[in-house]
């Protein structure tokens, strides 16, 4: 079954990180991605631009509304994701726990509907 691992983190903390700390974080993500590929669970994943670059679209009552910037002021923002193929929820949770972002933020694990 496929699972989406959504990485929620404090964007401001990452932006404020020292260059060497940011380098260590990116290296940890590189190693994590490599481990997923070697295990055969990696389907895809990307890092997202900051939430200030987000655009929210609503179509209510036949009218389109476009909102720029972060939709909600919250402590943690969606910063990236991994799409994985795992045997079950427990296996997906085990991969989420290994994600570098789990140490400082939250990893939301959600099953993907097959379309």
What tens digit of pLDDT does each residue of 20-61 get? Answer: 999 999 999 999 999 999 999 999 999 999 888 888 888 989
pLDDT of residue 72: 61
39 sits in which H/E element: helix 19-39
Q: For the chain, list the domains and their CATH numbers.
A: 2-111 (3.30.70.1060)
pLDDT of residue 94: 97
Q: How confident is the model at residue 96 (pLDDT cuts 50, 70, 90)?
A: very high
Q: How confident is the model at residue 70 (pLDDT cuts 50, 70, 90)?
A: low
Q: What is the mean pLDDT of the chain?
A: 92
The pLDDT of residue 69 is above 80: no
Say how far apart CA 76 and CA 74 lie, in whole Å: 6
CA atoms within 13 A on the CB side of 40: 2
pTM of structure: 0.88
Say how far apart CA 76 and CA 78 lie, in whole Å: 7
């Amino acid at each position: 079954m496929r699972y989406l691992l959504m990485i929620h983190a404090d964007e401001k903390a990452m932006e404020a990180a020292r260059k060497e700390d940011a380098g260590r974080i990116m290296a940890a993500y590189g190693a994590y991605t490599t481990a997923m590929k070697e295990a055969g669970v990696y389907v895809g994943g990307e890092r997202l631009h900051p939430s200030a670059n987000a655009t929210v679209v609503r179509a209510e009552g036949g009218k389109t509304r476009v909102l720029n910037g972060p939709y909600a002021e919250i402590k943690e923002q969606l910063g990236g994701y991994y799409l994985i193929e795992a045997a079950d929820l427990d296996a997906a949770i085990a991969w989420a726990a290994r994600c570098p972002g789990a140490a400082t933020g939250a990893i939301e694990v959600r099953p993907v509907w097959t379309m």
